[in-house]
Amino acid sequence: MSNAHILRGQVLSFQGSPFATEAPQEAARLREAVAVQDGKITAVGSFDDLRQRFPAAALHDHGEKLILAGFVDAHVHYPQTAIIASWGKRLIDWLNSYTFPEEMRFGDRAYADEISARYLDLTAAHGTTTVCSYCTIHPESVDAFFTAAQARGQRVVAGKTCMDRNAPEGLQDTVQSAYDDSAALIARWHGVDRLDYAITPRFSPTSTPEQLEAIGALWAANPSCLMQTHLSEQTDEIAWVKDLFPDARDYLDTYEAFGLLGARGLYGHAIHLEPRERDRLREHGAALVHCPTSNTFIGSGLFDMAGLMAEGQRIGLATDTGGGSSFSMLRTMAAAYEIGQLRGTPLHAAQLLWLATQGSATALRFEDKIGNVVPGMEADLVVLDLASTPAIAQRAARADDIWEAAFATIMMGDDRAVSEVWIGGRQV
Ligand code: GUN
Ligand code: ZN
């Protein structure tokens, strides 16, 4: 069987950032078809042209459906899959009550395998083709996740969570074991197939200064790795960081002082930032990751998307499963829109779709590989039905253009809107 395919529909790609223009939709292009072969996008254009150029390709005609890059979820905790939507706590109590007891179970490789498979099945069903995940302190949790993603041919980023204080007995590593275990996992997985390693100190409250220093040294020794952590999510957390690091100028300084601020750094949440922190993040070209369903669910605050974009920050979008209350990047875009509304800065559908694809890919430094429908990029695609339920269909029928139609699916859609998913040029 040939591995050349043509997908016909409304093919969405971006030729720039819809945040960099007065008319966001002008950053987007819609064409009739995309051709894929050997895992890559080979052409985008008119259907007649592609049909002529690739006569042997199998045709998948999606009519009016929207074909775009697979969603990229730039901050998740796959081990929290089974405790998603746990009621009533704010960050620190939520971690202690729900998260840490569940993460304790991932020293068991069989359990880690089971949840890795469940998580990747659920997210693929929601149109997500790449994720950047925290694992647990257990190296087994990383092996399980990379093994599952590798078998699916997926581009993913993951790393062993490091924490040597303020976590329960049995869920702590040490300065030395965090370094050694992470280094061994980098050697085993980083750059293998479509897998990349992220050095992963959970957040400064759960690492001693000595551990942060060791992790900083590990990153310096492995500069092609990403580094992911949490920053300024809740005000109580920030006060705690001030107590734990009395000499730090601010929360970011607890990372910066130990070599944990850089262009390949990913800072989840980044809600309550000081001017100095914003300046330093921008100067380094570090990435901020907005996790809107988490921020409303755990009650963290309202991310300043418009202000941060205007000052030139690099920003990705993420579910933060299971602090986030959904596996869906559609639901996540809807929550980002709602937070924008609460700040008086509504986001356009083109901006939301860009954030969930190219924006997150750019945060992960994969902008030349995934997140857009452009020849040469890896063929990770999602086909969205813009009339997937009666409620959405009746609204889409009244839409004046593709953006109005897509917006109804962003606000009201779920996995029923995801009619096909392609990973590495293969339909899943
Ligand atoms: N801060 C430190 N760990 C976590 C986590 O697991 N989830 C969220 N939302 N915030 C965190
Ligand atoms: Zn998180």
Q: What is the pLDDT along the chain (428 residues), one digit of tens a residue?
A: 469 999 999 999 999 999 999 999 999 999 999 999 999 999 999 999 999 999 999 999 999 999 999 999 999 999 999 999 999 999 999 999 999 999 999 999 999 999 999 999 999 999 999 999 999 999 999 999 999 999 999 999 999 999 999 999 999 999 999 999 999 999 999 999 999 999 999 999 999 999 999 999 999 999 999 999 999 999 999 999 999 999 999 999 999 999 999 999 999 999 999 999 999 999 999 999 999 999 999 999 999 999 999 999 999 999 999 999 999 999 999 999 999 999 999 999 999 999 999 999 999 999 999 999 999 999 999 999 999 999 999 999 999 999 999 999 999 999 999 999 999 999 99
Pocket test residue of 89, 171, 203 for ligand 1, highest count of atoms within 8 A of CB: 203
77 ligand 1 Cβ < 6 A:
yes
Measuring from atom 7 of ligand 1, which residue has the nearest CA? 323
Q: Do the Cβ atoms of 111 and 78 come closer than 8 Å?
A: no
Tell me the C-alpha to C-alpha distance, in Å, between residue 140 and each of 75, 100, 156.
20, 16, 17
Distance in angstroms (rounded) separating the CA atoms of residues 366 and 277: 24
323 ligand 1 Cβ < 6 A:
yes
Cα torsion at 138, 150, 70, 1 (round to 10°)?
Answer: -160
Measured in degrees and rounded to the nearest 5, phi and psi for residue 263 equal -65, -25
Instruction: Give the model's pLDDT for residue 212.
Output: 98
Q: Which atom of ligand 1 is nearest to the CA of 294?
A: 9
The alpha carbon of 76 and the centre of ligand 1 are apart by a number of angstroms equal to: 9
Instruction: Give the model's pLDDT for residue 275.
Output: 98
Q: What is the bridge-based pairing of β-strands 161-162 and 195-201?
A: parallel
203 ligand 1 Cβ < 6 A:
yes
Q: Do the Cβ atoms of 288 and 294 come closer than 8 Å?
A: no
Instruction: Give the model's pLDDT for residue 88.
Output: 92
Two tokens, residue 212: 């942060």
Pocket test residue of 202, 204, 295, 300 for ligand 1, highest count of atoms within 8 A of CB: 202
Q: What is the bridge-based pairing of β-strands 426-427 and 418-423?
A: antiparallel
Ligand that comes closest to the CA of residue 76: 2
Instruction: Give the model's pLDDT for residue 36.
Output: 98
Pocket test residue of 73, 75, 76, 77 for ligand 1, highest count of atoms within 8 A of CB: 77
228 ligand 1 Cβ < 6 A:
no
Distance in angstroms (rounded) separating the CA atoms of residues 132 and 309: 21
75 ligand 1 Cβ < 6 A:
no
Pocket test residue of 89, 92, 233, 271 for ligand 1, highest count of atoms within 8 A of CB: 233
Cα torsion at 248, 251, 253, 254 (round to 10°)?
Answer: 80
Q: Which atom of ligand 1 is nearest to the CA of 300?
A: 9
Nearest to 359 by CA among 396, 395, 332, 321: 332
Distance in angstroms (rounded) separating the CA atoms of residues 181 and 179: 6
Instruction: Give the model's pLDDT for residue 2.
Output: 63
Pocket test residue of 99, 160, 171, 241 for ligand 1, highest count of atoms within 8 A of CB: 99
103 ligand 1 Cβ < 6 A:
no
Measuring from atom 1 of ligand 1, which residue has the nearest CA? 230
Q: Do the Cβ atoms of 107 and 140 come closer than 8 Å?
A: yes
Is the ipTM higher than 0.95? The answer is yes
Measuring from atom 3 of ligand 1, which residue has the nearest CA? 202
Instruction: Give the model's pLDDT for residue 62.
Output: 98
The alpha carbon of 303 and the centre of ligand 1 are apart by a number of angstroms equal to: 16
99 ligand 1 Cβ < 6 A:
yes
Q: Which residue has the tokens 């009746």?
A: 394
Domain ranges of the chain: 4-70+372-427, 71-363
* Domain 4-70+372-427: CATH architecture, name and number where available: Roll (2.30)
Q: Which residue has the tokens 């809807």?
A: 334
Q: Which atom of ligand 1 is nearest to the CA of 99?
A: 6
Choosing among 3.30.300.20, 3.40.50.1580, 3.90.79.10, 3.20.20.140, the CATH entry for 71-363 is 3.20.20.140
Q: Which atom of ligand 1 is nearest to the CA of 80?
A: 6
Instruction: Give the model's pLDDT for residue 1.
Output: 44
Q: Which residues are CB-contacts of 303 (< 8 A; sequence separation ≥ 6)? A: 269, 270, 271, 290, 292, 295, 339
Measuring from atom 8 of ligand 1, which residue has the nearest CA? 323
